[in-house]
Chains A and B, each alone.
Chain A
Amino acid sequence: MSDTKTLAPAPPRDAPAPRPPTARRSGSRRLEEITKILFVVPAGLAIVALFGYPVVKNVVMGFQDYGLKTFFTGKAPFVGLSNYVAVVSDDVFSKAVVNTALFTLGSILGQFVIGMLLALFFHQSFPLNGVLRALFLLPWLLPLIVGSAAWRAILEQDSGILNVTLQNLGVIDGPVPWLTSPSVALVSVILVNIWLGIPFNLTLLYSGLQAIPDELYEAGALDGATGWRAFWSITWPNLRAVVSVVLMLGVIYTLKVLDIILGLTQGGPANATQTIALQSYQRSFVEFKFGQGAALSNILIVISLAFAIIYLRVNRRQVDE
């Protein structure tokens, strides 16, 4: 916005302006300032009510015995750290932490590598490039629970198409219990989550590649940098900002995934696919121990925030623009 806009209503300093108009002007300017504030008030209230309040409330609830009783008595006594002690000392917690780490790491790695290869592939020109690339977005736009349902049908043990095909090809002797065996279920859930994350990675990395000027490659080619040399010395350094954004957003989104795991395994079998987010859901909405659920989701907030800080440091230039 230009400076002239704010300066324009002010009367010239040296001109002897009559008093009443100035008063009216400063009055209308105040009105305008108030109108400007009113543009952001609804959004401010929404952010406070839908994010500020929940975060503060969760932090407080983490220290309260907030359970089913609370809804009848209205009382939620403060209990210090006992919610945290209860959830952390539970055997499932360490399993959930390991699973969360494996789920996040595996998903991000798979999504990123496949998304990157596809982005590089689509960065070349060929007929129908745009249309085909758009169709790749479809899995990302479907409701997650729909993706889970489709994969449930594919991974079904006895008549699911994956086992039927693998058996017909002679790759496996008997059906693999993709979602019902504790040793395989986490891998299956990760694979489905990779599938869901590919479009996001492809789209962001592709637009990052598009932003690298062609001249760099032309100059590089003169110096003999083509193929992998060009990738490592031109593409990767120029893509680094986008890559960190993609990775950080990927981590933050994956940490909070619930739909896919609930739709595929509900955390089972034998807690093989339990994660911190799922534990939080189960404490609150299955066992109605809202204090413990809040304690777990507070742990999740801290982890997400750590990654958010990294993300914001990387992304600061865009924020400040």
Chain B
Amino acid sequence: MSAIVSKGQARHARGPVRTAIAIVLLALLLFPVYWMLNISLQPSGNALSGTFFPTHPSLDGYRAAIADQGGHLVISLVIASGTVVLSLLVAAPCAYALAQFRFRWISWALLAILISQMIPSIVIANALYTAYERIGLLDSIPGLIVVNSASGIPFGILIMRSFMLGVPPSIVEAARVDGAGLVRAFLSIVVPISRNSLITAGLFAFLFAWSDFIYALTLTTKGQVVPVTLGIYTYLGAHIANWSAVMATAVLASLPAIVLLVVAQRYISAGATGGAVK
């Protein structure tokens, strides 16, 4: 008994030390993120600054970034929001069906969804380029929304299905007895109950589309539709004249991830483990 107590006390005493170690490790891992912020606040014009703090902080980098890339940020926002809507509309009913209906081919469908997540995006880009060229979806926002849903839909199905497996059939039954059709029951009962899994799936669809670079690079040719990731790449491509503007753009492009991490952290952890393993 006394051994257990003393062990507990030792663990308690070691707690703050571990917290300190964790903070040091975190500082090391997040250094590139800090450095991005630091450079973005340095006065622009010169080469990279070696000072560890923005001692003379300047917003010139952000002014240049918004002037050059503001439109690209808006395009990214439109594409990412569109991808969320399309992915959820397509994936949510399917997730419910795969969780609750008795189709004989469910395990085959799940297998297909799992394998689809493993197809390299360059394969999709290669084939869709020629198809998009023919049907006029190259250089278009709808074209990028559709192709970005290629990541959002399968991931969404897996996340939402694993949640909807736990929806008791009896509450849907009760609605059916009251005269609701299958669609009504789904919309008025299943969707509200499964809200958290819809948020998780939507959040990831947003992040996938917001972060997309490969499809933006390959399925746009004329420079009319430029999401911010492609904007950063173009910035990096030429010899970099203005590091603070590049890093300011990088910071702005990171904002959704940072906001979501702060606001919706529990959904992110759920998605990280749920989508990969289940």
Contacts and interface: CB of A to CB of B under 8 A. Distances in A.
Contact of B33 (A126, A139, A259): A139
A70 B133 CA distance: 11
Contacts of A300: 120, 122-123
- Residues of A in contact with B, size category: 35 or more
A129 to B, nearest CB: 7
A42 B131 contact: no
Given A43-B94, A153-B247, A51 B116 contact: yes
A46 B149 contact: yes
Contacts of A284: 122, 125-126, 129, 218
Given A141-B268, A143-B253, A304 B119 contact: yes
A160 interface: yes
Interface in B102-128: 102-103, 107, 109-116, 118-128
B272 A200 contact: yes
B124 A54 contact: yes
Contact of B26 (A136, A148, A153): A136
A6 B125 CA distance: 43
Contact of A305 (B118, B182, B254, B277): B118
Interface stretch (A87-95, A103-111, A182-190, A290-298): A290-298
Interface string A286-312: 000010011001101100110110011
Contact of A135 (B26, B113, B116, B243): B26
25 contacts: A1-B102, A39-B97, A40-B98, A51-B112, A54-B123, A54-B126, A55-B127, A58-B126, A124-B18, A127-B15, A135-B30, A137-B265, A138-B257, A143-B211, A146-B232, A150-B33, A153-B243, A200-B272, A245-B276, A245-B277, A256-B122, A293-B122, A304-B120, A305-B118, A319-B114
Interface of B: 11, 14-19, 21-23, 25-26, 29-33, 35-36, 39, 47-50, 89-91, 93-94, 96-98, 100-103, 107, 109-116, 118-131, 133, 146-147, 149-150, 153-154, 157, 169, 173, 181-183, 186, 207, 210-214, 217-218, 229, 232-233, 235-236, 240, 243, 246-247, 249-250, 253-254, 257-258, 260-261, 265, 268-269, 272-273, 276-278
